[in-house]
Structure 1
Amino acid sequence: MLDWITSQFTIPSDSILIIGIYNSGLVVLSVFIAIFASFMALQVTSQAQKTSSNRRQSMMRLVGSFALGGGIWSMHFIGMLAFSLCTPIRYGWILTLLSMLPGICASWVVLNFIQNQTKRIAPLLVGGVLMGAGIGTMHYAGMAAMDMAPLLRYDLWMFLLSIVVAVCLSILSLWIRSFFIKLWGKSDNQWLANLVASVVMGTAIAGMHYTGMAAARFVKPPGLELGEQTAEISYYLAFAVSSVTIVLISLVLGANLIYRYKDISKRASESERRVRAMMETAVDGIVTIDSKGIIKSTNQAVERLLGWKEQELLGKNVSLLMPAPYKVEHDGYLERYLETGEARIIGKGREVDALHRNGEKVSIRLAIGHVKLANDDFFVAFISDIRQRLSMERALRENEEKLRSLITNIPGIAYRCVNDEAWSMIFISDAVEAITGYPAQDFLLPNPKRTFASLFHPDDKARIYQEVKDKTQFTLEYRIIRRDGEVRWVLEHGNWVTDETSGDEWLDGFIMDITERREMELSCVKQKNMLNKPPQRAPHFWQT
């Protein structure tokens, strides 16, 4: 075995070497096939990284391995077709086919490295060495399949250089791809990283081949007459290699397209299910119509709200859900919008009545959106049931009217003020005008013209603040100065209120005019004082 290996690198000193020539067009074609096969393999592997199925990832890596291994093999034999040796050359078909296996196995290892996306240097070196070894093994196995009269020998240093070229460029291509994916990101520019890496990988494949061919020495045996190499075998081999290359590339493209189609179909199906699930679980009714107002889909909320089942509405005009006068005008709204872009109802929300299946009117809030898909326009109507809200608003208005009527008829001032020295009013009843001479609006925040505290009599201010500062219920009597300058007595009952959420404090109270009562009390006090005075004795008439 050792003697055989040694003989491959031993060239007798008296030997005559045969020099071959290359067809430059076929050389360029061989390099292009190496680069193209590398790019397709890297693209398929990138596509495999985006799928969550382990089985599909393995299948796509296998397809990519056949593409890259087949590309190495095809590049080798197209490169051999480019080489003319002026002597008939045949190939042993068994060894020729077996020479494809090292390239496929090495490609499997490299694509697994790419799939794992490891950042350590050791796997990078191992992957590059195995890829270079696979390329070299494939090349020299293919060379061994040559059946010709000249003896095939190799220059040892060029032989080793060819292996070094394959290994180094393989490592470089793997590193370049990892580097550019990290630099550019993993989505939009991944194909560009694959392209750059495939150029280096294709160069590694072609560089190894042509360096290996430079290492080859074709020794002319004694008595061999050189002549033109027969073209028949070249044509057959060219046809076979081209056919295999086309099949492999077609396999890669077909698998890639099939899996991409399945992924797109799966995503579209999942998206449709999500949209349908959102529609069916939505609280609001959703109705989809086309540009002619024909209903295309509804959700379950429409049935709950309007009583119509989806099967009863599909294919019918949406005006079925509208009472007059909207029923007649609706299609005109859509046509006008599509022709002029004038939006009266599109893109806006408004409160209208819809028609229930039993003929009753249902108060709804309607919002319509527009979307253009392919060559058709679609409109999506969102229907919200506002009957409960309207009922609550009516109840609130009624309660407000009752409360306002009650406060208006109370002979005094009801108020709520902020906890500040000015007693800034949040609310004060209209009765304040009768007592103070100023309208209620003058006291209200946020822009009061005056404060209620400004009406306090100067002699009573200190006592009022002293009574109120304890923040408890209080009752006090004090004087205010009216708009006309008249001094009036008032009775105030107040209570502090604290908001549990915000901690804000207010003072709620009631103020009543007690001027007449105070005047009566003063009058009674005067009369009492007069009655309690001792009577004066009248003088006797005879006294002088």
Structure 2
Amino acid sequence: MQDNAVVSEFAAAAMNLDAYPVALLQVDDEGSIRSANAAWAELMDASAVGVEMVAYVHPEDRLIWREMLARLRNETGVCSRERIRFVHPHGQLRWLEVACRRHEDTFFISAFDTTAQKRQETSIEARLRSAMGLLNGVPGLIYRGRNNPSWSMEFVSDGCEELTGYPAAWFVDSHEHSYSQLIVPDDVDYVWRAVQEALADRRPFELRYRIRGANGDVRNVWERGIGIYSASSEVLGIEGAIFAVR
């Protein structure tokens, strides 16, 4: 009777696990699947009990999988998370967000399919790389910055070096350097007032002034920019472009 009760308890537990929409697995200390719920079978089109889980892992990510298990063998109770590529038996690539915890001689694993999210991220990254390529190819300084007297920069394009003699890293989020240091002192107040007047009227600003580059030479520049506003009309920052002119 006791054995039957234990079997019934395990069967009930398995049925409860099948109700979860996330793939749940138990893997033994050697990496073989002991049990898996219905979500795993649906995700990978196989129950896979008795199969080493690494068989489903993309060859290039198998080292990540093995290192995660090895790490958890020495850190019982700790939860480890990795985004790992799996290969469906029909050949489709799946990105799974895998969370794993070890208890005694068993790994308890949840696997969430993030393939659609990963594809979206890859698409966004490709578009950003394309946009950055275009911006960095412009022979001038494209920027996004803060509306403060230092003109602190959050982003500058690679064209800044040709214009000013300084690389992008010199400008971005620096406490030691700022774009305002390059503006010829006689033009500092003019630049500040012109930008603030335009922002107050919520219109683009356009101005000409002088900067001193890294080599000490003074250059005339033309700048056009706009404000970035919150829903309550607070100025969050500015963005624009600066070019050398004669």
TM-score by length of 2: 0.77
Tell me, yes or no, if the aligned pair for 2:23 and 2:111 is still in contact at 8 Å.
Answer: yes
- C-alpha distance after superposition, 1:483-518 (max 9, x if no partner): 222221111101000244995611111111112xxx
Corresponding residue for residue 186 of structure 2: 459
| CA distance 1:476–1:358, shift in 2 (3 Å) | same
Tell me, yes or no, if the aligned pair for 2:137 and 2:158 is still in contact at 8 Å.
Answer: no
State the identity as a percent: 24
What is the root-mean-square deviation of aligned Cα atoms in Å? Answer: 3.6
| CA distance 1:397–1:455, shift in 2 (3 Å) | same
Whole-Å separation in 1 of the counterparts to 2:232 and 2:38 = 39
Q: Does 1:303 align with 2:41?
A: yes
Report the AA paired with residue 453 of structure 1.
S
| CA distance 1:337–1:400, shift in 2 (3 Å) | closer
Corresponding residue for residue 120 of structure 2: 392
SS for the counterpart of 2:131 is: helix
Whole-Å separation in 2 of the counterparts to 1:359 and 1:501 = 51
Whole-Å separation in 1 of the counterparts to 2:193 and 2:71 = 69
The alpha-carbon deviation at position 291 of structure 1 amounts to 4.5
Whole-Å separation in 2 of the counterparts to 1:495 and 1:324 = 47
| CA distance 1:440–1:289, shift in 2 (3 Å) | closer
SS for the counterpart of 1:510 is: strand
Whole-Å separation in 1 of the counterparts to 2:146 and 2:103 = 51
Alignment of 1:182-221 (within 5 A): none
Q: Does 1:433 align with 2:161?
A: yes
Whole-Å separation in 1 of the counterparts to 2:58 and 2:160 = 49
Of 48, 51, 54, the residue aligned with 1:313 is 48
Corresponding residue for residue 103 of structure 2: 371
**How many residues end up aligned between the 2 structures?**
231
Kindly indicate whether structure 1 or structure 2 has the higher relative contact order, using CA contacts under 8 Å at least 6 residues apart.
2
Alignment of 1:317-332 (within 5 A): 317-319=51-53, 321-323=55-57
TM-score by length of 1: 0.37
Corresponding residue for residue 223 of structure 2: 492
Q: Going by fraction, where is helix more abundant, 1 or 2?
A: 1
Q: Going by fraction, where is strand more abundant, 1 or 2?
A: 2
- C-alpha distance after superposition, 1:231-263 (max 9, x if no partner): xxxxxxxxxxxxxxxxxxxxxxxxxxxxxxxxx
- C-alpha distance after superposition, 1:401-430 (max 9, x if no partner): 111111112121100111111110111112
Whole-Å separation in 2 of the counterparts to 1:416 and 1:362 = 37
Corresponding residue for residue 480 of structure 1: 211
Corresponding residue for residue 24 of structure 2: 286
Q: Does 1:380 align with 2:111?
A: no
Whole-Å separation in 1 of the counterparts to 2:212 and 2:30 = 72
Corresponding residue for residue 422 of structure 1: 150
SS for the counterpart of 2:150 is: coil
| CA distance 1:383–1:431, shift in 2 (3 Å) | same
Tell me, yes or no, if the aligned pair for 2:208 and 2:221 is still in contact at 8 Å.
Answer: yes
Tell me, yes or no, if the aligned pair for 1:321 and 1:356 is still in contact at 8 Å.
Answer: no
Corresponding residue for residue 85 of structure 2: 353
Report the AA paired with residue 352 of structure 1.
I
Tell me, yes or no, if the aligned pair for 2:98 and 2:111 is still in contact at 8 Å.
Answer: yes
- C-alpha distance after superposition, 1:47-95 (max 9, x if no partner): xxxxxxxxxxxxxxxxxxxxxxxxxxxxxxxxxxxxxxxxxxxxxxxxx
Q: Does 1:468 align with 2:195?
A: yes
Whole-Å separation in 2 of the counterparts to 1:412 and 1:307 = 54
The alpha-carbon deviation at position 307 of structure 1 amounts to 1.5
SS for the counterpart of 1:297 is: strand
| CA distance 1:514–1:378, shift in 2 (3 Å) | same
Larger Rg: 1
- C-alpha distance after superposition, 1:258-283 (max 9, x if no partner): xxxxxxx9xx96x9968854x34544
Tell me, yes or no, if the aligned pair for 1:442 and 1:448 is still in contact at 8 Å.
Answer: no
What runs of 5+ residues in structure 1 fail to find an aligned partner?
A: 1-264, 516-544
Tell me, yes or no, if the aligned pair for 1:295 and 1:318 is still in contact at 8 Å.
Answer: yes
| CA distance 1:482–1:365, shift in 2 (3 Å) | same
SS for the counterpart of 1:441 is: helix
| CA distance 1:510–1:320, shift in 2 (3 Å) | closer
What runs of 5+ residues in structure 2 fail to find an aligned partner?
A: none
Tell me, yes or no, if the aligned pair for 2:33 and 2:53 is still in contact at 8 Å.
Answer: no
| CA distance 1:498–1:317, shift in 2 (3 Å) | same
Whole-Å separation in 1 of the counterparts to 2:168 and 2:57 = 45
Corresponding residue for residue 526 of structure 1: none
Whole-Å separation in 1 of the counterparts to 2:180 and 2:14 = 62
SS for the counterpart of 1:317 is: coil
Whole-Å separation in 2 of the counterparts to 1:291 and 1:429 = 51
Q: Does 1:512 align with 2:239?
A: no
| CA distance 1:432–1:479, shift in 2 (3 Å) | same
Tell me, yes or no, if the aligned pair for 1:423 and 1:453 is still in contact at 8 Å.
Answer: yes
The alpha-carbon deviation at position 350 of structure 1 amounts to 2.6
Tell me, yes or no, if the aligned pair for 1:441 and 1:448 is still in contact at 8 Å.
Answer: no
| CA distance 1:378–1:428, shift in 2 (3 Å) | same
SS for the counterpart of 2:185 is: coil
Corresponding residue for residue 89 of structure 1: none
